[in-house]
Amino acid sequence: MAFPRLIFLLVLAIIPLCNAQGLKLGYYQKTCPGAEAIVQKITSHYISRAPTLAAPLLRMHFHDCFVRGCDGSVLLNSTKNNPAEIDAFPNQSLRGFQVIEAAKSELEQKCPDVVSCADILALIKGPYWNVPLGRRDGKVSIMLEALFNLPPPFANITTLKAQFSSVGLNAKDLVVLSGGHTIGNSHCSSFTSRIYNFTGKGDSDPTMDANYVARLKSKCTSNNDVKTIVEMDPGSFKTFDGSYYSLVAKRRGLFQSDAALLDDNETKAYVKLQAMSHGSTFFKDFAESMEKMGRISVLTGKAGEIRKHCSFIN
């Protein structure tokens, strides 16, 4: 069971959580009719020509929401006096900013000063979950906050659960949203320490399948390989499906954070369930967790602003 690869066409400064009042379905129905269709059209245009953009666009929304909430702060450029989130190491591999700007440009022509960049980013989604709208754009973006608040690929289960909990997400959300690794690629530099120098003695992570280690070494030729990219879900990296969990269950998760899902009873049980049932509830669960994530510390009402350009404040 799998969605087509173009699913996404339709597709710790700890900040107190907002109750997300003000978000609702059809928010722009009167103020900018067709806003959602415009975002979907622009997204379709870009992803049909570059399907590999689907994964980084999904990842961009995740990275936005985990720092100051879903306020579009990840889209802001750095200034002379302020290094922004976009230049933090975890965000340097993000791609697809041109998709956001293209959608914003068309929306500004149709409905000036109405649709926020934060809502545009949330709308670049799959068609299987609802996206309540009404977010406003934040005016603050700080590089160090992204560095400290985004869950790193080498995190253990204790750190992962704590970081998810800090933004109101639980262990189930953690293991479900980790399933987003079913699409996309990764640079070798994000995991080569696992296969070349796990404990500082030139060894590999003993929890990783030995055959998978050998395969990765054939692609990433040294611990210092910063150019090569590999599929996060080999053989299925363009298809949004439940195969990620089968890999994790076989000790073939690419990152330490993937392997860590087997170190907690609740997350391990979910991995095993999806691996055995071929992702029977994954799509429903992913939709629920994405909707929940999209409400993290949103700005609504008169908070924040509506940017004219997503890369800088008005």
User: For 251-267, what is each residue's pLDDT tens digit?
Assistant: 999 999 999 999 999 99
Q: Both 117 and 189 in a single domain?
A: no
Dihedral (CA of 282, 287, 291, 294) sign = positive
Was 178 annotated as part of a binding site? no
218 — pLDDT class (breaks 50, 70, 90): very high
Q: Determine, yes or no, domain membership for 307.
A: no
Instruction: Point out the catalytic residue in the list 45, 61, 63, 309.
Output: 63
Q: Determine, yes or no, domain membership for 269.
A: yes
Q: How far is CA 75 from CA 79, 88, 129, 161, in A?
A: 13, 12, 23, 26
Q: Determine, yes or no, domain membership for 213.
A: yes
Q: What is the mean pLDDT of the chain?
A: 91
Position 234 pLDDT exceeds 60: yes
- Number of Cβ atoms within 10 Å of the Cβ of 223: 14
The answer to pTM > 0.85 is yes
Q: Both 142 and 185 in a single domain?
A: no
Q: Both 45 and 136 in a single domain?
A: yes
Q: Determine, yes or no, domain membership for 81.
A: yes
C-alpha to C-alpha distance for 228 and 287, rounded to whole angstroms: 32
Give pLDDT, residue 203.
95
Between these two residues, 17 and 192, which has the higher pLDDT value? Answer: 192
Give pLDDT, residue 162.
97
Q: Both 175 and 256 in a single domain?
A: yes
What are the structure tokens assigned to 72, written together? 């579009």
Q: Both 232 and 188 in a single domain?
A: yes
Which of 119, 148, 177 lies at the terminal end of a domain, its last residue? 148
Give pLDDT, residue 22.
83
Q: Residue 118 is part of a domain; what is its CATH number?
A: 1.10.520.10
Q: Determine, yes or no, domain membership for 9.
A: no
| Domain ranges, residue 226 | 169-293
C-alpha to C-alpha distance for 278 and 273, rounded to whole angstroms: 8
Query: What are residue 171's phi and psi, to 5 degrees?
Result: -65, -35
- 122-167 per-position pLDDT tens digit: 998 655 678 999 999 999 999 999 999 999 999 999 999 999 999 9
Was 64 annotated as part of a binding site? yes
221: CB partners within 8 A, 6+ apart: 228
66: CB partners within 8 A, 6+ apart: 149, 150, 151, 163, 167, 296
Q: Both 264 and 226 in a single domain?
A: yes
Position 19 pLDDT exceeds 80: no
Active site residue 45: no
Was 241 annotated as part of a binding site? yes
Between these two residues, 8 and 231, which has the higher pLDDT value? Answer: 231
Q: Both 208 and 251 in a single domain?
A: yes
Q: Residue 257 is part of a domain; what is its CATH number?
A: 1.10.420.10
Was 114 annotated as part of a binding site? no
Q: Both 131 and 192 in a single domain?
A: no
Was 167 annotated as part of a binding site? no
Q: Determine, yes or no, domain membership for 156.
A: no
- 173-188 per-position pLDDT tens digit: 999 999 999 999 999 9
Was 305 annotated as part of a binding site? no
Was 73 annotated as part of a binding site? yes
Count of structural domains within the chain: 2
Was 105 annotated as part of a binding site? no
Q: Determine, yes or no, domain membership for 49.
A: yes
Was 67 annotated as part of a binding site? yes
Q: Both 85 and 136 in a single domain?
A: yes
Q: Determine, yes or no, domain membership for 115.
A: yes
Q: Both 289 and 192 in a single domain?
A: yes
C-alpha to C-alpha distance for 298 and 310, rounded to whole angstroms: 16
- 285-301 per-position pLDDT tens digit: 999 999 999 999 999 99
Position 114 pLDDT exceeds 80: yes
Was 71 annotated as part of a binding site? yes
Give pLDDT, residue 130.
84
Q: Both 199 and 287 in a single domain?
A: yes
Was 263 annotated as part of a binding site? no
Position 15 pLDDT exceeds 90: no
Q: Both 77 and 109 in a single domain?
A: yes
12 — pLDDT class (breaks 50, 70, 90): very low
